[in-house]
Structure 1
């Protein structure tokens, strides 16, 4: 038996051609027609894509070659500029070295500078500066601007060359400045070379380059001929040259060929502040390639258009056949998916159509309703007369656009409420054939509306029972949207009271925002700024003369129920609280005056001893002069000297008494711009009397040039005297030896929470404060001393906090042993005055 031929297909193996035939025969005729029509279209599109790909490849390859040429030429031009700048820099460094070695003087410097400026046109001027930025000598090109002709002795401003002089002085190396303008016309770059005389900075040699000259004489002419070359700054602003923008024509208009050939790089050693850029010129145009592309494209587009027209014509038959079926299915699907009931009446009031939703809402079937006339089965018996009149109006077109509400009876006898909307039915000839009515179940919305009405009544009842006046008004309008009973009692039913409260609160100075209420600013985010009130404070206390009341006014922006932006104002009567605060302030003032009197009473013996010295000296001087005058043993010069000493002792006693009188005098707090050093001197003059009596040294350090503080100087002096007095008593109580009996007062500026402040620190060498009592020392009538009254530190803390400062105390340790105590407080600088 012969073996089967190897060329015959094996059983069960399907060739690609057989698979293609089976797949094609399995398609429907309509799909076969569609694929036959799409095949030629795909072939034409593939052909056009191949042509476009080829043109794109060759165009991009040419663009890459041109871009590489631009890059290479720009790097060559930058290298030439770099070498030219480095040569000038080395020549200037040689001149600077000769100046530092005292090898050349002004005349020789001018000769060498003139030689460089004449030889290299890009150099505009060369200037010799000393360490104080004064011009020793200078030479400028005849073509340089007048501003570069600097006379000897002229001091250059500190901002010359963007402050480069100080940087060169610190780094001791040559530096270039950013490009700058002279008289608004000439663009220059400044090179500063430092002068080091025996390791000490003695000035600099300043060379000023013309950027336009660098471009003209530093860039090779062959590069300037091929490209549009320009020097730019770091903001891409043109300093010299021009920027060429090639016009896109022909194939250049295509997306892959639209980018011009350009390259830019920084100029060394100046850096990124000076950039050289070159843009290529258009030198040729491939007309044959462009014509070939457009011819192929036009023919391909024409072929595609013809194939599409044929395909569209063949599809119209299928579309016409399916249109009716699609429309029918769509209408049926829409009717079955709608939740709104639809009912159609003819001109005589007979039901001609109901959709499934209408049947589902009423419980009646389509057979029960089609052809029915009034009274309809879904009409409640008690409302037949009303519904009949409504139907008569509906058939005659007397309906409202907003619809009407009717009761509807279900088949099971239950009642629900619906809203019906009526529109005429028009046929294809424009003739009315009936009325179409849509019905929506509003039982649940009606229930919700009734509950909202009841909720609103409860809401207004609660607001009317409040002791606060609440009002809501739209922005920039006198209309009043809401006002509770208290508002109407105070201001009536108009919006004038609302506007008055807003104006009173906005007229108060706005307090700066702290970190605690930053989130409140976000409440205003997104609001239109042109409609907001000028009121910036969310809460303010105002006085209303018509009511004879103090009111706390709080404002808030909200969106009203109709979508308008509105402002709510809540006014609370705080008259009683303000009266209590005024009474508390009066009691505080009396307590401060009493504390000063108590302090002076405790220091009475020291003050009397201090006064006794000048009074005794006055008595001795007077007795001596009387005795010598009686014996005529004194000359006029000796008498004058004795009288001057007597006057000085009297002035000293008077100053002590005046200082005590000013300290204990009761007066209203009067914040003024006060000198810190003067306050410290006044306080230490009184406190030192008590400290010297107990043999305690007072060391005072006050920083120089402290700003003035907006404070009441007497109150700050009271705080300092109390702290110094307490420090001295702590040292006496600790029974320290004489070497450890000292108090330190330090006054220095500080930065606290980002704000300027002045800190006062009092350190003693006493036993400190027991740690368990450290938190209670500021309580009223609490004292760590047996005879203390417990009001000194309480008043000190109140005084400091009234000046927006803070008072704190801490123990000083040497290991675990307490070696003293430190009280410190700071006052913020509200106003700085240069003295």
Structure 2
């Protein structure tokens, strides 16, 4: 049976790959270069700090400028709103007076009285003039001279009348006559040289133009009275005409003084005049510039000083590091020469006196350097019973007659233990070419001799053990497809050829068919042999049709005695175990259905009570409708409403029956994609009958955005229902007061090192808890704490959860030494969908 292709590993984040590349680059650098880069860290930090300070100053300066701009804009709009409201209010009053003039409710004398009253409350209006259609003045009132105070008409206001052609009053008069609407004139200078503008309100007598009512505004008064004082204190407000000439300002200035140019300017038109006047708000920056900031220059100076000191420290450290590196490299070179050798080295002069030993020789013999140097034969590492033999070998060595292949001798450690060694001898030559002594290298071969002696014995034992195994063991050469080894069980089942190995391997690389493809195909070209041999064994279950047997096959790659890459298989007959598992599975399914039937049997009375409510409601609705129909006392709408309620109650009863039927229906366990929230809702609906009967409240919390589970929802629902029913029974049997008759069901995601990502279902009650001996035997079959219990509920729950690769636990909740409740939790792995698909593919 073919094995599915392994899933591709998930891609790692870009940051992880970048970090891995940076780490690899850092390890390739030399220690000196790493120190140099590490020294650059403070310098970069100082530069970054200076850049941060400059950025902060720049950001704060810009933020202050933006705040000032917003303040100027806000104040300008407030001033515009105040003036606009005043102009609109005055215009409405002028329209009222014009209407009274046209309807002849007032004459010239009455006009003087109303004009005086009108202008007294409006200091911004200097003149109020009544002009007929021929531009002649019929009546006028002025607040700028003494004549108005004496009640006499003011005669020197000819510049305010529209008699002069192409003047500003004349253009406004003609526009009013054409449009029949109030029109504002452009600014002009009155007889006193003040900047003013007029509003002309038409006098319409039965749609006929009979003149205008002219109100003349003083621009200085508008600015003085209608721009709020708090706005004037904060910013300068000016009125500018269409040519950009300054007309009025809230900032008092002496004659000939040139105003300071503002850094912040915001302009809005003077609505509703629409006569070219613009209200301009001006603001000035209060902060100093970045270049003239003393704090900025202090930070810059300190940063430059720090950089200069870091550079000087860096140069000094480089010189010291170079000198230290030279000394350390020279010392390490000499020390490495001595310590890196596993072979013991011993130098002797021409008389046989020891002049040098390396650390390996001292470690091999157990004697220290000062105990060996200067010693003459017999040496302390010679065994006492071999003095004569070792002396003979020493003389042979001093005479230069030692064999080239070395001499095998017995040596003694300081603690008296013996070991086998092989010695090689070579002469020591000084720079003048004269021999000054002999250098002897000694290797400990005790372990090598022991291994060599044991290999032959272990080979015989190994063969005996493999031949006596009930499992088939075979080794196949990967390149040639040759069967290198097969034990008795393999030969009994598959014969002496390699075809049985290929059947058990299930099409893995290294099967006999590879050898049949010729030399042109090399499936293992470029693959490292070490990685294959170090890989762990793979386990699979294979069915051999010809033998009608199931085998548990373990495969791994190894290097054969001659260096070839080989594949070893160990196949164990598990046919009996498979049959037993199948029978156990069927019995477990029957037990699950039996458990559900028992649960519903216990809930039968509660279910009958639950169904009685919708059925009683249906009977009442039907009887009521029959009575009202017979007495012709029901309308169509009432009949439809009653029928809808009857159908709703019938659907409720049918839903209860469907849920119970689906719960107790015998079916094959079927894993499917299911939502934890749906499973919990179905279980809670079924458990609600029992909980209401026992007067137990239930609090349910299900976390949002839980992953989809690949489970059998009926089985998981059975576990939740069993736990809820047990908790309700424990609370009811303990006779707890209503305040403690509650159960909490929580479903939350969780991650643990042992299980990984899981979804945890927890049922917590406020009952009396469980005894310690009961917790230890809680999941045993046929063990129950209830008098009428069969002891298969929790055992089945554990089997169901473990079949889904989850875990179930129980623990008491304590308040001090007093048990105040019990909590049952079980977990379901979120990878269940993947693992279930893999199991299905393998079976």
TM-score by length of 1: 0.46
TM-score by length of 2: 0.46
**Larger radius of gyration between Structure 1 and Structure 2:** 2
